[in-house]
Amino acid sequence: MKPRAYSIKVLTSVLLLVDVPGLAESRPSVLEDDAVHVSCKRNPDVWFEGRVVKLHQTRLGLIFDETFTYTPGDLCDVRFTINRIPLRRMHLALDIPFHPDRVLFPNESHLTVRSPPDDQDIAKIEVFNSSLEGNQPQMEAVAAILAQPKGSPPFIVFGPPGTGKTVTIVEAILQLVNRDPRVRILACTPSNEAADLLARRLKSGLGPDRLFRLNAPFRPVDKFPPDLLDYTFIEKFVRNGREREFFSVRSAKDLAKYNVVVSTCMTAGIPYGIRMKTGHFGYIFIDEAGQAMEPEAMVPIKTISDPRTNFILSGDPLQLGPIIRSGVARALGLGISFLERLMKLKIYDEKIWHGITYVAIF
């Protein structure tokens, strides 16, 4: 990578402002509390680690301990570090012993339901969202999800953009909660934006006592949607004399009381980290699953499920797929999402298994 020039302005002996071209476009991607390494040309063999304490457009605020010295006019090398937590969670998920073919390589022998829901099954559903009334594919998908026995192969809701996949998933989740107040559901997406949208739609039918928006601790609190603040948990701490807020979870016991937990696929590794009971969630939904790398989807699928957990994937593999920066990884298949790989299996042939393992919404 070609070195780039960064403008540094000293504020105190330990606090510096760094102008970073491209920061507003996440090039590089930097979050508060990330580590940044700096070496001055007058002593190039010595590197100092600073922490990001402020982000504003193209400017970073970095704090160092008192051993770091900077003289205005010094030329410095600045190196940014990658957040390794997502990579570690994907490796953890892949290392967990988990070999049920009904999830990773499902086939006809794993099916216990052999017929799709009929008109009578659909007519029994009292919808929360009236826009679904009269929409046969969406209602078929909801009815099929409700009819899935425990331990079924993953169920897929497929459709191009704007066809109502997320609306269908939200309706299915609300129906499951309404049918059984004891049900526990983990609903994931690859991105925070999609997870916020999912939570926003779910809160139309679920209050803060039943719905929780689980966030990564390093997500900036000031950029979180204000209308979802009642659905999350924020704590405060003091570092370097500065009070900061961060997203937190009290305990596995507290998290377990919610009917529905919404998070990104990566943040779905937190329940495992706080030792939540495997199999606590009877249903794991992944919306926009076509945009998640398969190891990313494995974080919620492998870390917290058991043989009775049901999985529902929604998305469109023909739309935007996983973002893969490594050409080697792309050539080896990392760009193929879990959703896309499953849809190539015979058990997801819509002509044969429509309404049983798969519903297309157009």
pLDDT tens-digit map of 12-43: 556 788 888 888 877 888 887 788 999 988 88
264 pLDDT exceeds 90? yes
The confidence score (pLDDT) of residue 57 equals: 84
248: pLDDT strictly greater than 80: yes
User: Which helix or strand (DSSP H or E) is residue 333 part of?
Assistant: none
Residues 156-187 have pLDDT tens digits of 999 999 999 999 999 999 999 999 999 999 99
163 close to 362: Cβ distance less than 8 angstroms:
yes
**Nearest CA to 273 among 198, 216, 220?**
216
- Terminal CA-CA length for the chain: 44
The pLDDT, as a whole number, for residue 240 is 60
Q: Where are the domains of the chain?
A: 7-83, 86-360
Per-residue pLDDT, averaged over 113-128, amounts to 93
Measured distance CA(285)–CA(311) in Å, rounded: 6
Q: What number of H helices and E strands is found in the chain?
A: 12, 15
- Judged by DSSP in three states, 33 sits in coil
d(CA 326, CA 220): 28
Q: Quick one: tokens of 43? A: 């002593």
Instruction: Write the CB contacts of 193 (distance below 8 Å, at least 6 apart in sequence).
Output: none
Q: State what percent of residues in the chain have pLDDT above 70.
A: 95
Distance from C-alpha of 170 to C-alpha of 204, rounded to nearest angstrom: 10
Structure token pair of residue 207: 């209050």
Which CATH architecture is the domain 86-360 placed in? 3-Layer(aba) Sandwich (3.40)
pLDDT for 2 equals 42
Q: Would you state the pLDDT for residue 83?
A: 83
Beta bridge partners of 63: 15, 51
Rounded average pLDDT over 89-99:
91
Instruction: Answer for the pair 203, 261: CB distance below 8 angstroms, yes or no.
Output: no
Average pLDDT of the residues in 298-326: 93
CATH numeric code, 7-83: 2.40.30
Half-sphere exposure of 141 (CA within 13 A, CB side): 32
- Structure confidence at residue 1 as a pLDDT band (50, 70, 90): very low
Report the pLDDT averaged over residues 43-54: 88
Collapse the DSSP code of 104 into the 3-class scheme (helix H, G, I; strand E, B; otherwise coil) and give the result: helix
Distance CA 338, CA 43 (A): 49
Reference 239, options 47, 70, 17, 65; nearest CA is 65
Q: What is the pTM of this model?
A: 0.88
Query: Taking 90 as the threshold, does the pLDDT of residue 223 lie above it?
Result: no
* pLDDT attached to residue 4: 53
